[in-house]
């Protein structure tokens, strides 16, 4: 089965690894069905965790708080979320650390009900986000600032995942929301208008980050190194094999429209980081201003495993095999 998958997706040739008596188990959570989650799904479905000696289980956990609780309880060892989750947790005393970021822009469109023609029409209206304290709240605040409005001109409400927020905008229960592909493209297919594409602002933000508890890094560094190796190869497959990535996306999101899957893959693929080093600017932007004083971005992330793989030639060997 693995051989068939690897052949179908033109996955890279096997890199020699030390033999292991048995695979290490690792549980990885991801936060939802937005397109920036696809690389971790691709890594799993291409058999790359197994290739590097890991028995990986993917678990969907919606919401930063729930994801953090699962990790604190050691129910998961790695979480794929926006960087704001581990940063907030670190500021509150948790010993979290981000070890990789595969997408560091804000991939959200500000979509509006048909009655909203201009930003001024948003005054006094409700705008739906997924959850308070996450990237969708930040995206709304950035959009409102871009529109030249006062944050108090709109009322931000928590309304759950895309599947709940899109109908809310369509029916007029709320005036607007922010959506990332594929939800963004599903919304426009239903007639909603994009008032602003925040991705075009170029603002750095750790949208798709992988974080752990620092003690786990200290005690299980070899396991995490295998995880990062699998992830980096998975990112190469994700960017380099559109058809396979689309199939995986449709499998996990239940998305039936191949056009939306194609647009989503193109949207993220061209800006996904195949060497997922954390960017200090992105980390800084995700740190609350009222708590950022005296804090350095480096407190919140650790690039050492990725840098080690770069220095050892692992990343370059993947690049050569994909040329």
pLDDT for 150-170, tens place per residue? 889 999 999 988 989 999 999
Pair (194, 209) in one structural domain: no
Asked whether the predicted pLDDT for residue 225 surpasses 50, the reply is yes
Contact, 233 vs 48, CB < 8 A? Answer: yes
Query: 26-30, 111-115, 291-295: which has the minimum mean pLDDT?
Result: 291-295
Pair (252, 194) in one structural domain: no
Q: What is the pLDDT of residue 208?
A: 94
Pair (64, 212) in one structural domain: yes
Pair (238, 101) in one structural domain: yes
Instruction: Please tell me the total count of domains within the chain.
Output: 2
Pair (175, 130) in one structural domain: yes
Over residues 294-322, the mean pLDDT reads 92
Compute the distance between CA of residue 320 and CA of residue 323 in angstroms, rounded to an integer. Answer: 5
Range among 137-141, 161-165, 186-190, 305-309 with highest mean pLDDT value: 305-309
Pair (226, 97) in one structural domain: yes
Pair (210, 296) in one structural domain: yes
Asked whether the predicted pLDDT for residue 57 surpasses 60, the reply is yes
Asked whether the predicted pLDDT for residue 18 surpasses 50, the reply is no
Q: What is the pLDDT of residue 3?
A: 38
Pair (162, 247) in one structural domain: no
Pair (15, 92) in one structural domain: yes
Cβ atoms < 10 Å from Cβ of 148:
9
**Can you give the pTM of this predicted structure?**
0.81
Per DSSP, which regions of 78-192 are E strands? 78-81, 96-105, 109-112, 126-129, 155-158, 176-179
Confidence of residue 134 (pLDDT cuts 50, 70, 90): confident
Category of 313 on φ-ψ map: left (φ > 0), alpha (ψ -120 to 50) or beta:
left
Tell me, what CATH number does 218's domain have? 3.40.190.10
Between the alpha carbon of residue 38 and those of residues 33, 171, 246, 263, 310, the distances in Å are 8, 29, 9, 13, 23
Q: What is the pLDDT of residue 62?
A: 82
Asked whether the predicted pLDDT for residue 9 surpasses 60, the reply is no
Pair (304, 240) in one structural domain: yes
Query: 88-92, 198-202, 236-240: which has the minimum mean pLDDT?
Result: 198-202
Name the percent of the chain lying above pLDDT 70.
Answer: 93
Confidence of residue 8 (pLDDT cuts 50, 70, 90): very low
Asked whether the predicted pLDDT for residue 1 surpasses 70, the reply is no
Domain that holds residue 273: 2-105+204-322
Pair (225, 303) in one structural domain: yes
Query: 128-142, 150-164, 259-273: which has the minimum mean pLDDT?
Result: 128-142
């Amino acid at each position: 089965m693995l051989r068939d998958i690897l052949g179908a997706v033109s996955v890279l040739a096997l890199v020699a690894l030390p033999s292991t008596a048995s695979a290490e188990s690792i549980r990885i959570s991801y936060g939802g069905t937005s397109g920036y989650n696809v690389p971790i799904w691709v890594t799993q479905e291409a058999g790359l965790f197994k290739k590097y000696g890991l028995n990986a289980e993917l678990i969907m956990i919606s919401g930063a708080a729930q994801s953090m609780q699962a990790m604190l309880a050691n129910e998961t060892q790695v979480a794929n979320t926006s960087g704001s989750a581990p940063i907030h947790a670190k500021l509150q005393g948790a010993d979290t650390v981000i070890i990789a970021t595969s997408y560091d822009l804000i991939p959200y469109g500000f979509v509006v009900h048909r009655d909203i023609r201009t930003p001024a029409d948003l005054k006094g209206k409700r705008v739906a986000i997924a959850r308070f304290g996450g990237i969708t709240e930040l995206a709304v605040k950035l959009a409102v600032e871009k529109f030249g409005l006062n944050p108090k001109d709109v009322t931000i409400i928590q309304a759950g995942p895309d599947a709940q927020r899109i109908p809310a905008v369509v029916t007029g229960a709320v005036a607007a929301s922010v959506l990332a592909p594929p939800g963004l493209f599903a919304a426009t297919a239903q007639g909603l208008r994009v008032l602003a594409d925040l991705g075009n602002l170029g603002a750095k933000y750790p949208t798709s980050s992988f974080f752990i508890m620092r003690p786990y890094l200290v005690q299980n560094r070899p396991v995490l190194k295998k995880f990062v190796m699998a992830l980096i190869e998975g990112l190469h497959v994700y960017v380099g094999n559109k058809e396979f990535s689309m199939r995986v996306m449709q499998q996990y999101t239940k998305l039936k429209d191949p056009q939306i899957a194609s647009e989503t893959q193109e949207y993220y693929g061209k800006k996904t980081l195949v060497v997922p080093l954390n960017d200090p600017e992105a980390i800084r932007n995700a740190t609350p201003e009222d708590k950022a004083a005296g804090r350095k971005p480096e407190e919140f992330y650790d690039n050492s495993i990725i840098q080690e793989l770069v220095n050892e030639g692992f990343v370059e060997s993947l690049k050569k095999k994909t040329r």
